[in-house]
């Protein structure tokens, strides 16, 4: 039986869940997207349609294939029903250990025997998340990147109990999505988040100290190192609330060099979370376009 026949459940219809669900249905899987928030589900469906329609407009996706992909995506608010008979679950709910463990504990008894349970956590412990289920060897990290439809990498994270079979199956799913996967033995922040969190935090320290403007810090990394995006733009895209949660975890596990910059704490307290709230380091108009010259000014910090 083709892997494409496997029932896939994606839990969490936020930024990442939307992208991951899109990746599965585009690759030919049928996917069920689950969220406790109905509004998030409606928004995710609209966003998946938009990505597919954009592909058609650009001539990258055939119209019929886009329609078929949309038809393969369903949504549900009841995880128990969604998990029935699933071969793969990708949890991508809020970055909170208790919430993630609850999702896995609820789904595990309803999935197929030997089903793979993947977590898209950015920085939490796969080993610890896996304690929520009776078969921790089935739990693996599948760490996707935002925006999922453009980013090729998946970090496959091996927890203490993850079996070779689970690793191989996670790799097969990743291959089926057309992604390139790397294997990481569980470590706080994996390879990418650890380096990216450090760069984003350092950029915020520089902004706070008035070393350079937000625009110039981002330009430095884009033009000096050929990064496609500067660290502050990237933080606005990721969401500073997610960034802060990751930094707090890395600070607790890896030490002082990851202490979150106070400016991030202040921005999150103010609700300036990034693109998703219309303002982060930069401000965005109602169409999501960045407002020129809107970078936070050191003089007003």
Cβ 32 to ligand NAD shortest distance, Å: 12
Alpha-carbon radius of gyration of the chain? 19
d(CA 286, CA 278): 8
Instruction: Figure out which of the listed residues 6, 9, 25, 122 binds ligand NAD, where binding follows CB under 6 A.
Output: 122
Query: Any contact of residue 279 with ligand NAD (CB under 6 A)?
Result: no
Query: Are residues 143 and 122 in contact, defined by beta-carbon separation less than 8 angstroms?
Result: yes
Query: Any contact of residue 34 with ligand NAD (CB under 6 A)?
Result: yes
Contacts of 71 (CB under 8 A, 6+ apart): none
Scan residues 127-166 and list those touching ligand NAD (CB under 6 A).
143-144, 146
Instruction: Report the SS3 class of residue 280.
Output: coil
Query: Are residues 7 and 24 in contact, defined by beta-carbon separation less than 8 angstroms?
Result: no
Residue number with CB closer to ligand NAD (13 or 133) = 13
Residue number with CB closer to ligand NAD (61 or 130) = 130
Helix (H) or strand (E) holding 169: helix 164-176
Q: Which stretches does DSSP call E strand in 164-277?
A: 180-185
Scan residues 88-117 and list those touching ligand NAD (CB under 6 A).
92-95, 99, 103
Scan residues 239-268 and list those touching ligand NAD (CB under 6 A).
239, 242
Number of residues that bind ligand NAD (CB under 6 A): 27
Closest among 217, 277, 268, 215 to 246, alpha carbons compared: 268
Contacts of 82 (CB under 8 A, 6+ apart): 9, 11, 32, 34, 76, 107
Residue number with CB closer to ligand NAD (160 or 237) = 237
Tokens describing residue 286: 């109602």
d(CA 171, CA 9): 17
Query: Any contact of residue 120 with ligand NAD (CB under 6 A)?
Result: yes
Residue number with CB closer to ligand NAD (271 or 293) = 271
Using CB under 6 A as the criterion, what x/- string covers residues 207-246 for binding ligand NAD?
-------------------------------xx--x----
Instruction: Figure out which of the listed residues 8, 9, 10, 16 binds ligand NAD, where binding follows CB under 6 A.
Output: 16
Cβ 149 to ligand NAD shortest distance, Å: 13
Cβ 69 to ligand NAD shortest distance, Å: 20
Tokens describing residue 26: 């585009």
Query: Any contact of residue 196 with ligand NAD (CB under 6 A)?
Result: no
Kindly provide the b/e burial profile for residues 50-77, where b requires at least 16 CB atoms within 10 angstroms of the residue's own CB.
Answer: ebbeebeeeeebeeeebeebbebbebbe
Residues that bind ligand NAD (CB under 6 A): 11-17, 34-37, 40, 92-95, 99, 103, 120-122, 143-144, 146, 238-239, 242
């Amino acid at each position: 039986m083709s892997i494409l026949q496997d029932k896939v459940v994606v839990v969490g219809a936020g930024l990442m869940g939307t992208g991951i669900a899109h990746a599965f249905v585009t690759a030919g899987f049928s996917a069920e997207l689950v969220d406790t928030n109905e509004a998030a589900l409606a928004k995710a469906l609209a966003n998946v349609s938009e990505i597919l329609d954009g592909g058609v407009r650009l001539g990258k996706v055939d119209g019929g294939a886009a329609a078929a992909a949309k038809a393969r995506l369903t949504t549900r608010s009841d995880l128990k029903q969604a998990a029935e008979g699933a071969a793969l679950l990708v949890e991508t709910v809020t970055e909170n250990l208790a919430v993630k463990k609850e999702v896995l504990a609820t789904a595990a008894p309803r999935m197929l025997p030997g089903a793979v349970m993947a977590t898209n956590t950015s920085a939490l412990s796969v080993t610890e998340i896996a304690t929520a289920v009776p078969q921790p060897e089935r739990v693996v990290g599948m760490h996707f990147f935002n925006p999922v439809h453009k980013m090729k990498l998946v970090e496959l994270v091996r927890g203490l109990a993850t079996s070779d079979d689970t690793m191989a199956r996670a790799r097969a799913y990743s291959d089926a999505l057309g992604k390139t996967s790397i294997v990481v033995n569980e470590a706080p922040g994996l390879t990418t988040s650890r380096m990216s969190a450090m760069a984003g935090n350092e950029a915020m320290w520089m902004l706070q100290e008035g070393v350079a403007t937000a625009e110039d810090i981002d330009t430095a990394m884009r033009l000096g190192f050929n990064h496609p995006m500067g660290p502050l733009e990237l933080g606005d895209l990721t969401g500073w609330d997610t960034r802060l949660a990751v930094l707090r975890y890395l600070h607790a596990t890896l030490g002082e060099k990851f202490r979150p910059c106070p400016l991030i704490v202040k921005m999150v307290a103010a609700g300036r979370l990034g693109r998703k709230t219309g303002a982060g380091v930069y401000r965005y108009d109602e169409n999501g376009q960045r407002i020129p010259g809107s970078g936070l000014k050191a003089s007003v910090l």
